[in-house]
Structure 1
Amino acid sequence: MILPKKIVVKLIEKYEEYDIELCLNDSYVAKKKALLAKFVITHHDLFCFVENTKSIKFTYFLYDRWLVSFAIRNAFGPDIENKVIHDIKFKDMCYIKFRKFSSETVNTVASIIREAKQKQLILDLRNNIGGNLQSCLELLNMMVPEGEVLRIQTKNDFKYFYANGKAKKFEKIYVLINENTASCSEITSVVLYKKLDNVVLIGHKKSHKLYTQHVITNKLLGYSFSIADGIWYVDNEDASCLSKYLLAKNENWTELNDYLKFILLFREDKMHFSE
């Protein structure tokens, strides 16, 4: 499929403007010149240009068959990703699980938290792929005290985000994570742990996503361009700190009951915990 050259030029401008680690050296300039010199520019041409010039794996240009694979993955509709599971565990613990940060899911989660009568919260972020940063910040705003929540280093400066202090308080918050906990769910985990003194992180995590992304999608032309545009920090620490704050690390835990058993024993103070 052919891309209009005006669109290609605009996408490259955004790439150069936002990508936090893009090196605009002679090699880059030569590759850009060669691309724009083409009489016809296809999706694959732009894909190859991005792959051959980027420095971060979280910058990528997807088109056609890649987008089809995403469509197949989401074939069951947006309801699955936007679904929020809410339950009461051990009679006195509010349990919430969701897979993606969107305005819809966060509005639902926020409503559950506001109305919760339980004194303890289990926030299940296993397999939560992240999502919209603004939605993530809205949820954190109602969970942490007033002050700086997050700092993002962009290409040219820093952006600061704050909570207003109107937080719902719980006696204890258990945050469940796994290897597929990513992006906004990592931010949420670190912020809750760093800003509150009653948070227990449970699960396993080796890989981390330090970057935020600027996403440009055009369904008509069939592409999505994600640009790594920032690195996030909470009190001068990034996502790599998450694993050291885990109270329990067990890669063999695959089911919710594995985590719940740990929580139950933790509450009853019947076990020794891993460092």
Structure 2
Amino acid sequence: MTKKLIAIDLDGTTLNRHSKISPRTIDVLKKASAAGHHVSIATGRPFRMSAQYYQELALDTPMINFNGGLVHKPYQKWPFEKEHFIQKEIAFEILAQKENLNLDFVAAESRDTFYINRLEDFESSFFAADKATEANLFNNLKTNPTSLLIKTKHEFVSKVSTTLMNQFENEIDVRTWGGPNAILEIVPKGVQKAMALEVVAESFKIKPKNIIAFGDEHNDLELLSYAGWGVAMKNGTDQLKSVANDITEKTNDEDGLAEYLEQHLAL
């Protein structure tokens, strides 16, 4: 069978509502790897908040973080690695509008560093990090970050996104995370998952027609469009389903990805 590159989003796709990968999904993805396919995570999360899943799946493939802001091979030197940055001044300008925009927090990060406007807003469980070693205050931000993370309430997401896109229209794109929290990620203009997936595909010499991609949110639109076979989750947005080649019969809480892959690749 032709070897496939399987690109998997995390929140709302590979992860269930408790941000866990079910034993069945782990089993199926490991079977896919064992069959010679390349399983590659493509997430909006920083590496710090996705490393555990990379390890659970026992991957050694390249990984996409920050919605395409970073494509790398964790724990290894990799000649294809790419990282993009946002001007740090934008982070300070958004922080100045925190009250007006109804933001719970503003955070800035790159691969190894993490900054937040108030340490009181730093929930170590949410950020999958230890306060003592990971969080810095914004006034320590001296270099351009790879992405900004802002948390608001679901009813404000649309307004926040539109306001910031208008204000910094030539400099940033605003993306949503899937999952239960109203998290917006701000990345450099033009950065998206498909751009990074193309780098991964070239490293394996795999053509787009041999890529299967799974997602659930509007930050997966380009990913599914670029892949030869784009699969939207049953729990995905209508917009994403409209560009997908297929839709899983079950949701992320019902092992929809695992069941689909098992049948599609006859694992």
Point out the structure with the larger strand share: 1
TM-score above 0.5, yes or no:
no
TM-score by length of 2: 0.32
TM-score for the superposition, normalised by structure 1: 0.31
Higher RCO structure, 1 or 2 (CA under 8 Å, sep 6+): 2
